[in-house]
Structure 1
Amino acid sequence: MDFSTPVEKIPRVGPAFLKKLHRLGIKTAGQLLYHFPHRYEDFSNLIPISQVKIGGPFCFQGQITDIKNIRTFRKRMMLTQAALQDPTGKLKVMWFNQPYLANTLKKGTFVCLAGKISGKGKSIYLSNPAYEKLPDNFREIDFELSHTGRLIPVYPETEGLSSKWLRFIVKPLLLKLKDRIPDFLPPKISKKYDFLAFQEAIWQIHFPDSLELAEKAKKRFGFEELFELSLFVQRERLKLAKEKALAISIDVDLMKEFTKSLPYELTNAQKKSSWQILKDLEKPRPMNRLLEGDVGSGKTVVAAMAALNVAKAGYQSAFLAPTEILAKQHFKTINEVLKKFKLNVGLITGKESYSGSKKITRRELLEKVTNKKVDILIGTHAIIQDTTPKTSEKTPIQFNNLALVIIDEQHRFGVEQRAKLCRQKSFIPHLLSMTATPIPRTLSLTVYGDLDLSIIDEMPKGRKKIITKIIQSKDKKATYEFIRRQVKEGRQAFVICPRIEPAKTSAEDLGGQTLVLDARNFSWMDVKAVKQEYKKLSEEIFSDLKVEMLHGKMGSQEKEKTM
C-alpha cells in the first residue's frame, strides 16, 4: 500500500463510505492522509469525578453503571441518560437524540467520556460527551486513545461521514504509511525554516501532542502547498513562453478615437491598464494578464478597447462570462461602446445565439464565426462546448483567426483550452482574465505567478462611494422603512441569503440546546433561506411592493423573466 492506493483498497472502506469519500474529493490513500483537520477539540483535561465543576471540556474515565432512553414529548427529543462511576464518585451523563447509545454503551462498559459539564448546584451532568470504549483492564496497561483524552482532530465532513469515522480509518493508515513516504522538501529549505520532518509533521497534524506541534505541522504543509504551486506556476510560465502568438500593433489613432467616443473620461488606472494590455498584444508570445478592479471600476471598457484593436487588425476575440445574465450584460455593454466602429458582435449561451440584434441558430452563428463574419463573440462556456446542449449535436466552435480570449472571473484558462478554439494551430491566442476579487500582491505572485497583473484601483469620476453597514436586530424595522422609502423614490433593493432551502432542523426545534451540535452548526442552521425570506418579505414586510425571488435552482427562462 502507498499514497496512490485507491481508497476502496483500505480496510473498512465499503461501497457506502467510498461514495462519501468521493464526495469529499478523496480517491487515494494519499488524498485521505492530506485531508487535514480544520480544528482540534481539547479533550486532554482528564480529571477524577470528585473534582467535577461547571464548564470544561473535561475528560472522565470509568464504568457505565446505568443507561436508558427517555422520550421528552415537549421538546420532541429522545434523551439517553447514563451514570458513570470511577473510584472517586458518580456522574450523571446526558445525550440528546442518540438513542442507539443505549445499545452501544451497555451497563458495565468501561469508557472515556469527554465534554462540558452543564446544570446547576447538585443537578449537574456531562452534556452530550464524545465517548471511547476502554479495555476492562485499562488501568493496568498502556494504550493510546483516538477520540478522547487528548487533542482530537475535527475534519471537514460530509453527510454520513463523521470525524470519528475518519480518525478510525486515518490512524492505522498513518501507522502503515508514514515511514514509507520520502520527504520531498529539500533538506536545505526544511533546515532554513525549521520545518518538522515529513514523518513527524504528518502524524502531528492528525494526532498532535500539543497545539504548538499542530501549528508547526500546519506551517510545514502550508509551505509545501505553496511550494508545489509555485513550481507549477513557473512550469506554466515557461511552457507559455515557448508558444507563439499573433503580434498585434497598437493603432494609436484608433485608440484615441475610441476614448473620445466615450461619454466619460477614462481614469488614470484604466489608461495605464489599457496600455499594459495593448503593449502585451504587440509581443509574439501569448499575453497572460489578470485585470483586477472592483465592480463598476470599468474593466469591461478596458477589455473592449483591446478587442477593438484586435478586430481592426483583422483578428477575432472571444469573451467568456460565468453566467448567461453576465454574458448578456457584456454583450449589451460591448455593443454600446463599440457602436461607432461597426463591428460584428455575436452572443452565444446554452439557450440562444445572436448576431448583432438578430436571433439565429447556434449552427448559423458558428458558420459566421468560422467564416470571419464575427469580430467579437461573447458567451458563457457554451463557447468551448463541443455540442449543442438541447440536441447533443456535435457543433464545436472553430474561430478563423482568434487572437484574444477575455475571461470574466475565471483566472485559469490553460494553453490547451486556448488552442482548442483555434483553427490555426501554429499560434495561441492572447489571454486577458478579469476579476473583481481583490488579490493581495504576495498572493498574486504565488497563486497567479504565471499571470501579469494590471490593477484598476480608482473608480470613474462621479461614482458615489459605497457605504457598508452592519444592522443590529433592534434596527431591523428602521432598515425596512429605509428600503421602502428608497423603492417609493423609484430605486430597487436586493436581499441576498446564504442558502435556498431552510434547514430541516433549527436550533429552536431543539429547544435552544447546544447539546447535539456545536455553535457553528447552529449558526448555519439558523441562516436565512431564500424561499423563507421571500415569503416573509412579500407577504408580511413589503406586501405593498413588488417582490421577486431568484436562485440557482430556477430554470433559465424563470431567471430571465425575474431579471
Structure 2
Amino acid sequence: MQLNDSVAELSGVGPKRLDGLHHLGIFTIEDLLSHFPLRYSDLATKLPSEVGSGEKVTFKGLVSSEPVLSRYGYRKTRINFRLLVENENIVVTFFNQPWVQEKLKLGEEVAIYGTYEQRRQTLMGIKILAKDSMDELQATYPASKEVTQKTLKALIEQALGKYKELFVDLIPEPIRFRYRLLPRMEMLFGMHVPKNAIEAHAARRTASFEEFFLFQMRLQLLKMTDQSYHGRSIEFNNNKLKAFIQTLPFELTAAQKKVVNEIVADLRRPKHMNRLLQGDVGSGKTVVAALAMYAAVSAGMQAALMAPTEILAQQHAKTLSQFFDVNDVRIEILTGSMKAGPRRQILADLANGDIDILIGTHALIQTDIAFHNLGLAVIDEQHRFGVKQRAKLREIGMNPDILAMTATPIPRTLAITAYGEMDVSVIDQLPSGRKPIKTQWLRNNEFEKAVSFIRKQLDEGAQAYVVTPLIEESETLDVQNAQAVYEDLMKYFAPQYQVGLLHGRLSNQEKDTVMESFKRNEFQVLVATTVIEVGVDVPNSTVMLILDADRFGLAQLHQLRGRVGRGQRQSYTFLISDPKTQFGIERMEAMTKTTNGFVLAQKDLELRGSGDVLGNRQSGMPEFKVGDPVHDLIMMETAQQEALEIVNTPDWADQPENIMLSKFLSETMERYRNFD
C-alpha cells in the first residue's frame, strides 16, 4: 500500500464513482486525504441564551409535545413539536423529513441541529443527532452530484483507517517544534474528524503551513536547477561602472543603489540570473537597467532590451542614447517595421559584435537574429511576454542572464508565489523633488467641472488624457465610449485646442503616429482606451481624466495615473464614477488616499483576487487547497525562509530529519513541473 495508490483501491469505488472523484481532482489516496473541508458545523450543544438569531446550533432537551405531521402542496410535509431546553420551550419544525416523526418520543431526550430564530423562539430543524456525535464538529467538503458529502466522508474515514500507518511527517521535526505544528497524522485526523474547534484550528494551521512549505521547497529546487543550467559569470569592470554613474545628470536614490548592487552581484555569480525588477511608475527602473547593461558591455558582452511595443522601444532607445552619449557604447534599435536594407546591416553588425546594446520588440526573438555574445537580456513589462518567449530569448543568445522589469506593483503575496521562481528586486522610493499626483473622485454629474479644469491647464500650455473603457457603444454596459467622448470634446475645445483619438483597433503604426503627434503637442487632449496604460512618456501632460473609473482595477487605475506627473508641473487625476457596489466605492476611496502602488496592489488583491489582478491564465497563482496566501502572508514568508535555509544547506536531503521530505519531493516534482 502507498499513498499514491488509486482511490479505486477503496471499497465502494466503482468506475462511475471513480470518474466522479476524478472530476473533483481526486486520483490518489493522497489527493483524497488532501481534499480538506471548506468549513465545519459546530454540533456541540448550547442553551438558547447563548445563541444569536440566525445561527446554526444544537439544542438538547426533552420532547415536550406530541410531534404533529401535516401535509401541504405536492408531496410536502411539516413536523411541529416543542422541545424543552432547560426551562424554555422551543418550537421545532422539520420540513420534508417525515421519517423524523418515528425518532421523536414524548418525554424522551433528543438533540436537534438547526437554525435558531431568537425572537420567535423557533428552531428550523436540519437533523437529529446521534448521541456520540453531539460534541463533534461536522466537516463540509467540496462535493458534486456524482460524489456527495456522505460518500466523501465515508471514503475519507475509510482511507484514514486503512492508510494511517503511512502518514509520515513531511515537515522536519525542528520546524514543527519551532512553530508548534502537529505531526501529520494528528493534522489529517484533526482536519477531517476534529473533536472540537480548538483541534480543528490547530490542524488547519498545520495543514496551511505544510502546503506553503512544500510549495516553497519545490519552487526553490526549481530555481536552483534553473540557476545552475549553463550559468556563467559576467566579470564586469567595476571602475568603469562607477565612472559611468558619475556621468549621470542626477543622483541615484538609495533604493536604486540597492537594486543595482543586487543585480550586478548576480551578474558576477556563475549562476544563471532570473531576476524581476519591480518599481512604481517614475521610480527610475530604466536607469537601473542601463547600468546593468553597461556592466555587461564592460565585460565584453552584448545586452538586449525587449519592449512590448515599437513606441516604447523607440522611447527606450532615445533615453539610453542620452545616458550613453559620453561613452563608447553603440546602441541600435530593431523593430518589425524596419526596412530590409537597414535590418540586414544591423543583423550583420550584431553577429560581428559591433553592436553593444540592441533594443527592440518581439522582433528580437525572430529566427534570423544572431548575437555575437549576448550576456544580459532585459525584458520591459515582463507580464506582456510569455514564458516561451523568454525561453526563446535565452536560446538565441547563449542563455543570457535575464532581468525582467515591471511598473505594475506586485504585492508580496504574488511576488513569492506567482513570481516565486524569480529573485525580486524592488525600487520602493521615488526620486526626490517629484510632486505627488493629486487625485480627486467626482460623480458623473461633475464631468463638466473636470473638463473645465482641463481647459485651464491647456491655457497654461499643458496637455491632458481622457480615458474611457470601451471603443464603441455596448447594449449591455452603460459606459462612456471613446468615439462619442472624442466627438463631444472636439466640439467643446474647438477651435482653440485639438483632440486626438487612440484605441486598440488602430494598427500599431497608426497608434505610434497618434502618440508621436501627441508628444509633439499637435493634440492637446488625447482621448484613449487603456492602450496608453504602459510606459508612454509625455512630460507635458498634467491631467488624467478616467471615465467610469469603477470599472477598472486599482492596479490599472494606478498605471493610468502614472502617465501624468512625468514633468516639473503639478499633475492631477480625476476619477469620474458612480460605483454601484461597495467594492467600487472602496477602490475610488483607496485611489484618493494613497499614491503608493504597492499599497494599492495589495488592496486590489484583497478586493478582487489574484486571477482578476493579473488575469486568470496569466496570474500563475497556484490554487492552494487550504492555505490563503493573501491573508496568511506572514506564514507564507516564514515557509519560504525555512525552505531557503534547507535547500542552501549542503547535502540537506541526506539529513535524517529531511529524508521523508526529500523522498516525497522527488516523487512529486515531475507532476509539479508540468503544472499549468
Instruction: Judge same fold: TM > 0.5, yes or no.
Output: yes
Change (3 A) 1:187 1:278: closer
Structure 2 residue identity aligned to 1:293: G
Q: Contact 2:36/2:141 (CA < 8 Å) preserved in 1?
A: yes
Alignment partner of 1:202 is 2:201: no
Give 1:91's aligned residue.
92
Alignment partner of 1:151 is 2:137: yes
Matches within 5 A, 1:342-353: 342-346=330-334, 353=336
SS of residue matched to 1:296:
coil
Structure 2 residue identity aligned to 1:335: A
Give per-residue Cα distances to partners, 1:296-316, cap 9 Å, x unaligned.
312233123323443565534
User: Identity of aligned pairs, percent?
Assistant: 25
Alignment partner of 1:245 is 2:232: yes
Structure 1: which 5+ residue stretches go unaligned? 71-79, 95-101, 348-352, 389-394, 498-529
- Please report how far the alpha carbon of residue 27 of structure 1 lies from its aligned counterpart in structure 2 after TM superposition: 4.9
SS of residue matched to 1:459:
coil
Give 2:635's aligned residue.
none
Alignment partner of 1:186 is 2:172: yes
Q: Contact 1:354/1:365 (CA < 8 Å) preserved in 2?
A: no
Change (3 A) 1:271 1:168: same
- Please report how far the alpha carbon of residue 182 of structure 1 lies from its aligned counterpart in structure 2 after TM superposition: 1.4
Q: Contact 1:259/1:266 (CA < 8 Å) preserved in 2?
A: no
Give 1:520's aligned residue.
none
Distance in 1 between residues matched to 2:184 and 2:422, nearest whole Å: 31
Structure 2 residue identity aligned to 1:273: V
Q: Contact 1:399/1:421 (CA < 8 Å) preserved in 2?
A: no
- Please report how far the alpha carbon of residue 226 of structure 1 lies from its aligned counterpart in structure 2 after TM superposition: 4.6
Q: Contact 1:403/1:430 (CA < 8 Å) preserved in 2?
A: yes
Give 2:573's aligned residue.
none
Change (3 A) 1:300 1:420: closer
Name which of structure 1's ranges 269-278 and 415-424 shifts more when overlaid on structure 2. 415-424
Distance in 1 between residues matched to 2:91 and 2:467, nearest whole Å: 56
Change (3 A) 1:420 1:484: closer
Give per-residue Cα distances to partners, 1:398-428, cap 9 Å, x unaligned.
7553312335557x99999769823686xx5
SS of residue matched to 2:378:
strand
Alignment partner of 1:303 is 2:289: yes
Distance in 2 between residues matched to 1:556 and 1:175, nearest whole Å: 64
Q: Contact 2:80/2:94 (CA < 8 Å) preserved in 1?
A: no
Taking structure 2 as the reference length, the TM-score comes to: 0.51
Distance in 2 between residues matched to 1:160 and 1:476, nearest whole Å: 50
Distance in 2 between residues matched to 1:181 and 1:199, nearest whole Å: 6
Distance in 2 between residues matched to 1:93 and 1:549, nearest whole Å: 63
Structure 2 residue identity aligned to 1:535: D
Alignment partner of 1:30 is 2:2: no
Alignment partner of 1:219 is 2:200: no
Distance in 2 between residues matched to 1:445 and 1:269, nearest whole Å: 20
SS of residue matched to 2:430:
coil
- Please report how far the alpha carbon of residue 198 of structure 1 lies from its aligned counterpart in structure 2 after TM superposition: 0.8
2:374 to 402, 410, 413: 402
Give 2:478's aligned residue.
535
- Please report how far the alpha carbon of residue 155 of structure 1 lies from its aligned counterpart in structure 2 after TM superposition: 5.6
Q: How many positions carry a matched residue from both structures?
A: 463
Give per-residue Cα distances to partners, 1:257-307, cap 9 Å, x unaligned.
587576x65434224433442344244443454434223312233123323
Q: Contact 2:374/2:400 (CA < 8 Å) preserved in 1?
A: yes
Give 1:505's aligned residue.
none
Structure 2 residue identity aligned to 1:40: R
Alignment partner of 1:334 is 2:316: yes
- Please report how far the alpha carbon of residue 199 of structure 1 lies from its aligned counterpart in structure 2 after TM superposition: 0.8
Change (3 A) 1:288 1:21: same
Structure 2: which 5+ residue stretches go unaligned? 84-89, 104-110, 325-329, 458-462, 491-499, 512-527, 532-676
Change (3 A) 1:125 1:115: closer
- Please report how far the alpha carbon of residue 447 of structure 1 lies from its aligned counterpart in structure 2 after TM superposition: 10
Distance in 2 between residues matched to 1:446 and 1:53, nearest whole Å: 40
Distance in 1 between residues matched to 2:33 and 2:506, nearest whole Å: 40
Give 2:547's aligned residue.
none
- Please report how far the alpha carbon of residue 216 of structure 1 lies from its aligned counterpart in structure 2 after TM superposition: 1.6
SS of residue matched to 2:259:
helix
Distance in 2 between residues matched to 1:34 and 1:364, nearest whole Å: 59
Give 1:350's aligned residue.
none
Matches within 5 A, 1:90-489: 91-92=92-93, 105=97, 116-117=115-116, 121=120, 126=124, 131=126, 142=132, 150-153=136-139, 170-229=156-215, 231-232=217-218, 235=221, 239=225, 240=227, 244-250=231-237, 253=240, 260=247, 266-311=252-297, 315-317=301-303, 319=305, 324=308, 330-340=312-322, 342-346=330-334, 353=336, 375-376=357-358, 379=361, 400-407=372-379, 408=381, 421-422=394-395, 428-434=399-405, 436-437=408-409, 454-465=425-436, 476=443
- Please report how far the alpha carbon of residue 459 of structure 1 lies from its aligned counterpart in structure 2 after TM superposition: 0.6
Structure holding more helix per residue: 2
Taking structure 1 as the reference length, the TM-score comes to: 0.59
Report the aligned-residue RMSD. 5.9
Change (3 A) 1:337 1:223: same
Q: Contact 1:64/1:110 (CA < 8 Å) preserved in 2?
A: no
SS of residue matched to 1:204:
helix
Q: Contact 2:114/2:123 (CA < 8 Å) preserved in 1?
A: no
- Please report how far the alpha carbon of residue 213 of structure 1 lies from its aligned counterpart in structure 2 after TM superposition: 1.9
Distance in 1 between residues matched to 2:334 and 2:320, nearest whole Å: 13
Structure 2 residue identity aligned to 1:339: S
Distance in 1 between residues matched to 2:370 and 2:98, nearest whole Å: 69
- Please report how far the alpha carbon of residue 334 of structure 1 lies from its aligned counterpart in structure 2 after TM superposition: 1.9
Q: Contact 2:253/2:431 (CA < 8 Å) preserved in 1?
A: yes
Give 1:3's aligned residue.
3
Change (3 A) 1:58 1:450: closer
